[in-house]
Each structure stands twice: as structure tokens, then as C-alpha cells.
Chains A and B, each alone.
Chain A
Amino acid sequence: MRRYLAARLLQSLGVVALVTTFAFVMLHLAPGDPIAVSLARPNIPESVRQQWREAYGLDKPVGEQYVRWIANAARGDLGYSFSYRRPVRDVFADAVPNTLVLSGLGLLLSFAIGIGVGLAQAERPGSRRDRWLGRVLLVLYSVPDFWLALVILILFAYRLPLFPPGGMTDPVMYEYLSPGAKLLDRLRHLVLPVVTLALLTAAGVARFQRGALLAVLPSDWMRTALAKGLSWRAAVGRHAFRNALLPTITLVGLSVPAFATGAIFVEKVFSWPGMGLVVVNAIAARDYPLVTAGVMVMSVLVAACALLADLAVAVADPRVRLG
């Protein structure tokens, strides 16, 4: 187990390093540096721009910048954001919790819906209910992330103004609300993005869960359990479900990148101030330190989720321990 853990951890680190290096090199090879862009006005002498480049170390070769960046990152210093005019670490300190709240709730809801629907389908495979649910799932599975978010936004924020169109709190009144009203305000802002994110990913979960259940149902102990007089639901609940849950946990790890993609669009459409929004904004502003660190943080998050899921499987499934 310990060897497995170490190997798996090493692998995750390797992945993060590879991705971060890729982002760093791409950004620094791209045309135009942030100083040329943010101080583009012609009345600024080139000497001033050079001064700024030196101040931020942008005059050094890419390799040297990279080494220094890694050394700083190891100490927790992720650099300075040109567009936010704040340390990158502070920007992320605000954004990461927002993303975790949105994604965490989205993931929970998504798996709740997905597993529920998967169970409902697997109870009578091939039945009319199974087929119709399957079609609905395939539609949800096929819908473009940003489009579903837009449609939900138009319907429930613009046409029927039931929910706020974006942000995390009421921009004016939040400061002045009572604690209870503050919580309510936050929940109101969470509804549309969380539901959208859950709908986008629940279909994949349900399809997977149905397949996993159908695979274990024909097994001997299931037949035995049914023969003992247990109801289908009880049998599934006691035996099959637990077995079918293993691949589902694996799925959590595997689906994290897809989930992150959905989250980027959802954050963008609903102006949710999380990592996706920060990074997409940073790219538009050519804020290299923020983009590089953002890609790193996102890959760390994704790798960590995948690692946790793998560990969960390893703990739950004795066969994996051999690995």
C-alpha cells in the first residue's frame, strides 16, 4: 500500500510538472510580453518599459525565468498579477474556495442524480423507463456546456427573474444583511450554477452507473440473495450497489477534467469568481504569472481529485492493493 501510494503520488507530481512546464513555455514563447502590452502607449519611453521588464525579471532568458519561478513557487510565492495588481497567491486565495464550493456542490448533486437515475434504469433494463431515461441522458450528455448555461441563464434569470444572473452575493445589499439573510442570498446565487454544472455531468455518471450495475447484477451472489427472498432493492442495496460503487469512485477521478471544463463555462456564463473565470480573464489580459500559476493550480486540483479517487478505490478494493 505504501509503495503504491508513493508511486501514485510521484506520478501525480510528474503530471503537474509536465503541464506547468508546458504552460510556462507556451506563454513565454507567445508573441508580445505583458509589459509591451500593458505599457503600449507611445508616449512611454522604451527605457521605462525596460525598467519594468527588469523589475519583473522579464529580461532574463526563459530558462532562467523558469528556474526562478519554480524556486519561488516552492516557497509559496507565485508571482505578481499584472491585471489584478495583487500577488497571484492572493487572487487564488479568493478564487479557489469559490471554485471548490461550486464544484463540490455540483459534484455531489451530479452523483446523487446520476446514481439515482442509473439505479432506476438498472432495475428494469430494456424497459420503457430505461429507454426513455437513456434518451434523456443522451440529450443531456450531448448538450454544449456553455449553451445549457446560457439557456438556463436566459430562462431563469432574464425571462423569469427568479434567480440572480451572476456573481456570488448581492453586490449592494449583502454587506448590510442579517446573517440568516446573508446565507439565503448566497444560496440564491448558488442555485443556477450548481444545477447547471450537475445537469452537465450527471448524464455521464448515470450512464456509467447503469453499466456498472448491469455488469454485477448477473453474478451468483445476487442470484443467491434474490433466491433467499430479498427484494430487488434490498439485494442491490446490500450487495450489488457496493460493488458497482467502486467503478463509480474511479469515475470521480476520471471525470474531474471534464468537470473542470464544465466549471470553466459555468463560471464564465454565471460570472462566478472562481479559478476558471480568473484564468480565462487572465488569458485575455495576457497576465502570464496568473495564467501559468492558474494552469498549475488547476492541474494540481485535478490531479489531487484523481489521486484521492484512486486511493479510495485502493482502500475499498483489496485487489488493487497488489498494484
Chain B
Amino acid sequence: MFRFSPMSPRLAASFLLATLAIAGCKGLDDAKTTGPADIGGTLVITTAADAGTLLPPLIASITDRQVTDLLYDRLADIGDNLNTIGDKGFKPQLAEKWEWAPDSLSIAFHLNPKARWHDGQPVRASDVRFSVRLIKDPAMASNAAPLVANVDSVSVRDSLTAVAFFKRHTPEEFYDLVYQVVIVPEHILGNTPAAKLRDSEVGRRGIGSGRFRLAKWEPGARIELVSDTANYRGRAKLDRVIYSIAPDFNGAVTRFFSGDADLFENMRPEQIARFATDTARRLLRYPTLQYTFLDMNLRDPKAPSQPHPVFGDRTVRRALTMATDRRAMLKNAFDSLGQRLYGPFPHAMPVADTTLAQLPYDTAHAKALLDSAGWLPGSDGVRVKNGRRLAFSISLPSSSAARKQYATLLQDAFRRVGAAVTLDLSDFATYSSRQATHTFDTEIDNFATDPGVSGFKQNWSTAGMGKDGANYGSYSNPVVDAMLDSAIAAFDPARTRAYARHAFETMIEDAPAIWLYEPPTVMGLSKRVHTTTLRADGYWSDLADWWIPASERNARDRIGLRPTP
């Protein structure tokens, strides 16, 4: 059904627009040498939400993303330091090497001749061309299309050489192509029109070239991946990875603690105490680039050319920000796991600056500001200006427990300064259609940023107000626009940081949103499972190298010794 996971992966759709990360992060146990004896075993990951699709251009949820990342490869993978400028740090995947043209407007990728699709067919340059075309095809309606706008086309030089052409030379052109475009098989998908792929059977087969291949997908129950033993990059150490789909958050927690699963990635504060006495399981914090905020609509939902009667006024936005005790809210919602948010950026980003001056929590000041803005207390305690009550709604998806918690906390905080707030909980689809059509007063949104600064432009600049953007609140400030553009164009990281800092400062003062929290990302993991690097763009990026020592296997690991059904 449809409910109550802490952060239902479905609601991740909006922040998957641009997921990438910055700081690589080591797991608790750094890789010790592993031998042949450590090959094998089954990792069971429990999650509260099934995948919706296994077609990389269509992924919309975290589960979609995880499973497709394991099944498919890219031309090259981002390095552990998550650098996005040039090709520094990128590791070969399907492309074993590449050459830049002198004008940097094209790059020739030489494919690994040993690379095979899971059905045995070789990976060809035409697959690369097909993959780029597919993601850019309007009929495909891919979330990632705007992110590859700078990729002009791909031509096939020979069956193992694909040449990519770019419209402009930008710092992140290489990253745009190799990271955003997952390579998919033309011989499997090419015979179905793009508009039909979303619902087609071929889209569910998951035939990629990654180190895991799909054994079985039982919707609502499990997704079983097995090691692709003949893979050109070497077989995965684990025999199989099973996504065990639990009905809801509690179901997933139960499966984890009962030993029916090895990994659950959304631990909440109330579960933390159980780990203190647990000898078989441990907690592992992993980095992500998500942040959550109350987005205010600066335009009137009923007359988009007019400013919003409440939030069009900067003073009111600042007053509402000052009315919220964000530290107490963080403690309430996440206890010791809470991570403060300082602006429109998670703290793990290179451009993050946690020293920026914040608007203080000060209800007296907030009330004074509202008075000065002409919103005066009415007879029922709700403020009134020119006959309009200070009443508005908060839109949010009912599937997110953390956002629901915050919505009710905010409702009470705003009530204390004289605002009447209704909560508008809806299913995720309705919620996102409200976002897209700008028909909300305020909404609680969750973004995952791009490690580069181009993601900010999509979310917070005047350009982002267009159809390709995600600036749902229509915030527009020429200073911010100019600073973000300068930051994106800079090839020098120090200058990028300086420009971004200026933009952030301006935004905190303008208060187009109330910066609420970074969702805590703590997984529970069986101690028998040994991890490698946990990257901020996805802790699963090196899952094929995780292992379970032979001495620590249990009955579940032995199912790998049977042939796949």
C-alpha cells in the first residue's frame, strides 16, 4: 500500500533530477585483502519501496536508481573524490580510454572489446549513440534529458569507437555525458518506439553490462540479482543481491532486526538504541547530497503573473523563517541523527559553507516584522491585511513520514505568530503535479543537488522557472542569477566557491524557502558484510566489491550454490 516509509523512494523523484556527489567516504572496515574464499554469499537489502522501472532513462526512485546502477554500466565512472570538472579522477568502465579533440568540443571513446551484454552480445559504439538518442528523445520523457542538453550527438566511427559532440565547451561536459547517460542495449530496446518503452516488457528485462545481472523481478516482493560471472570487469564478489520489498517502514525494520535482511538504509532515531546491545548488526552513516526545505511560492497560484499575496513580500518570508525553531524541530524529528541545513546546499558539497549567517529564531522579531508588513492580529488570532487572512497551506506527499512530522511542527510554529496553516497531504503524483503547475502556497521539497553548481541554477535561478527547471517557487533575483552563472563558468574551484557563497548569502537573506534539514542517512548493516568505499552519490556504487567472509556465511548464503531458478 501505499504508505509510510520514512522517505519513500518514490518521492525521491524530484531530487533525482541531478544526483551526484562530492566527498568519497570510507566504510568502517577498510578493505583488507580478500581471497578466492571470499567469493560468494547473498546480500539481502530490505526496502519499503519496489522499483518502478529498470530502464535507466526513466528511473524515478532510489530503488530504480540502485538496481539500474548495479545492472548497467556507463562509459566511465566518476572518481571517489566526485570531481565533475574535466575528466580528472574518472575511471574507465565501458570505455577503456578516450581522447579529447583539440577544441574540446568532441571526445572519442574507445570501448572495451571484452564488454558484453548479459545476453552475450558485444557492446558496440552504436549502443552509445542509441543511449544518447533515447535519453534526449522527447517521447521518452526522461528526467535526465535537461542534464544532457549540452551533448549534441554521438557518431559511430567504428564498432568500438563512439565520438561524442558537445554544443559548448564547459567545465562539466565530460561528466554530463558519462555520468548522466547510462549505456543501454540497442538490440534489445531499439525495436520498440520510445513512447512505448515505458510500458513494454523489454524494459523490465534489465539486460545491461554491469557486474550483476537480473535473475528475477517479482513486483512488490523481490528483485534478485546474481553475479555476472563472465563480466569484462570481473565477477561481483557476492553471488547475489536480493532486494526484499517490505510493505512499509516497520516491515523493513522488522526484517532487518529479525535477520531476514542484511541491510536497511533508512534507520530512524528510535531504532538507534537497539544497536548498542546488538552483536550481529552495526550502524553505518553514509553521505548523501540531499536537503529538505519549505519552498514558498512567490507567485500567486491563481494569477501567476501577480506576486503571491503572502510570500511575494520578502519581509513576510523572513518573519516566517524567524518563527521557526529549527534546532528544536531537528531534535524532535531526528534526535541525535539530525543534520542542520545552512542554506540551499548539503554540508558535504565542496561549495558548502556552514559559517554563513542565518536568520535567527526570534518569535518577537517575527511578529514585529509581520506588524510592519501590514499583517495585523485579527479577532481570532489570525493576522489580517486588507481583508485577507494570513492563511496558507503546506503541500507535501503523504508518503514521507519526516516531511509530515515537519509539516505539523511548522503549522504550530506559524500559528504562534498568527498564521493559519492547513496541511495539504496528497499522493506523490498529485504532489508533484502541484509543484510542476505552481499551484501551491508552500511545499516541503527534497532535492539532491548536483555536486557541480549547475544544479542550483535549475532550482533557484530565473532560468529554472522555465519548463526545464525545478524552481517551483519562482524565486528570481538577478544577483543570484549572475553569481550562479559565474560559478558555473569558472574552471577554478576557489572562484566557484566564492561566487556560490555570494549567491547563498543572498538567498538566505531573501528567504525564498526555510532551510529545514538534511535527511539523516544511516544504514543498519550485518556485521558479516564488509563494505568498500561508500560514495555520496550512492553508497551502492562499489557493491560488486563488498564481500561476506566464508567463515561468516549463513543458510541464506548457500542458496547461491544452487542454479538460478
Contacts and interface: CB of A to CB of B under 8 A. Distances in A.
B429 interface: yes
A312 interface: no
Contact of B430 (A37, A166, A170): A37
B559 A36 contact: no
A37 B427 CA distance: 10
B438 to A, nearest CB: 9
Nearest to A46: B467
A271 interface: yes
A85 B222 CA distance: 17
A171 B244 contact: yes
Contacts of A38: 429
Nearest to A168: B221
Interface residues of B, number: 52
Contacts of A286: 427, 429-430
Interface in B46-64: 52-53
A166 B141 CA distance: 35
Contacts of A39: 141
Contacts of A171: 221-222, 242, 244-246, 255, 260
Nearest to B398: A284
B219 A42 contact: no
Given A85-B53, A284-B2, A40 B429 contact: yes
A318 to B, nearest CB: 47
Chain A contact surface mostly: loop
A39 B559 CA distance: 40
A55 interface: yes
A277 B195 CA distance: 29
B195 A52 contact: yes
A280 B1 contact: yes
Interface stretch (A20-28, A172-180, A216-224, A300-308): A172-180
A37 B429 contact: yes
A116 interface: no
Interface string A207-247: 00000000000000000000000000000000000000000
Given A41-B432, A51-B139, A172 B260 contact: yes
Interface string A155-179: 0011001000111011111011000
B468 A165 contact: no
Contacts of B220: 273
Nearest to A80: B199
A176 B559 contact: yes
Contacts of B219: 84, 86
B254 interface: yes
A63 interface: no
A277 B310 CA distance: 41
B44 interface: yes
A42 B251 contact: no
A55 B195 contact: yes
Contacts of A52: 195
Nearest to B244: A171
A40 B435 contact: yes
Nearest to B243: A171
B198 interface: yes
A67 interface: no
B436 A173 contact: no
A44 B141 contact: yes
B138 A281 contact: no
Nearest to A55: B195
B267 to A, nearest CB: 17
B430 A277 contact: no
Contacts of B437: 40
A316 interface: no
Contacts of A167: 221, 247, 251
A165 B139 CA distance: 41
A285 interface: yes
Contacts of A268: 1
Contacts of B138: 44-45, 47-48
A40 B216 CA distance: 30
B248 A271 contact: yes
A48 B467 CA distance: 13
A37 B260 CA distance: 36
Nearest to B426: A284
A32 interface: yes
Interface of B: 1-2, 42, 44, 52-53, 138-139, 141, 143, 145-146, 195, 198-199, 204, 216, 219-222, 224, 242, 244-248, 250-251, 254-255, 258, 260-261, 427, 429-430, 432-433, 435-437, 466-470, 556, 559, 562, 565
Q: Name the 7 nearest CB pairs between A and B, nearest first.
A: A271-B247, A40-B433, A284-B2, A37-B429, A171-B244, A40-B436, A284-B427
14 contacts: A32-B433, A37-B430, A40-B433, A41-B432, A42-B470, A44-B141, A47-B138, A48-B138, A84-B219, A158-B250, A158-B254, A161-B258, A165-B251, A280-B1
Given A40-B432, A85-B53, A173-B556, 11 more contacts: A36-B433, A41-B432, A42-B436, A44-B138, A45-B467, A166-B251, A171-B244, A175-B216, A175-B565, A273-B220, A285-B429
